[in-house]
Amino acid sequence: GAGVSQSPSNKVTEKGKDVELRCDPISGHTALYWYRQSLGQGLEFLIYFQGNSAPDKSGLPSDRFSAERTGGSVSTLTIQRTQQEDSAVYLCASSPELTGELFFGEGSRLTVL
Amino acid sequence: DAKTTQPNSMESNEEEPVHLPCNHSTISGTDYIHWYRQLPSQGPEYVIHGLTSNVNNRMASLAIAEDRKSSTLILHRATLRDAAVYYCILILTEADNQGGKLIFGQGTELSVKP
Q: Which of A40-44, A97-101, B17-21, B94-98 has the lowest mean pLDDT?
A: B94-98
Closest chain B residue by Cα to residue A42: B106
Closest chain B residue by Cα to residue A36: B43
Provide the residue count of chain A: 113
Mean pLDDT of the region B61-69: 95
Provide the residue count of chain B: 114
Determine the distance in angstroms separating the CA of A76 from the nearest CA of chain B, rounded to an integer. Answer: 18
pLDDT category, A55, cuts 50, 70, 90? confident
Q: Do B46 and A102 touch (CB under 8 A)?
A: yes
How many Cβ pairs within 8 Å bridge chains A and B? 60
- Whether B40 has its CB under 8 Å from any CB of chain A: the answer is no
Largest CA distance in chain A: 38
pLDDT category, A85, cuts 50, 70, 90? very high
Asked if A72 and A52 touch (Cβ cutoff 8 Å), the reply is yes
pLDDT at A7 over 90: yes
pLDDT for A60 equals 92
Q: Which residues contact A79 (CB under 8 A, 6 or more apart)?
A: A18, A19, A20, A21, A64, A65, A86, A110
pLDDT at B2 over 60: no
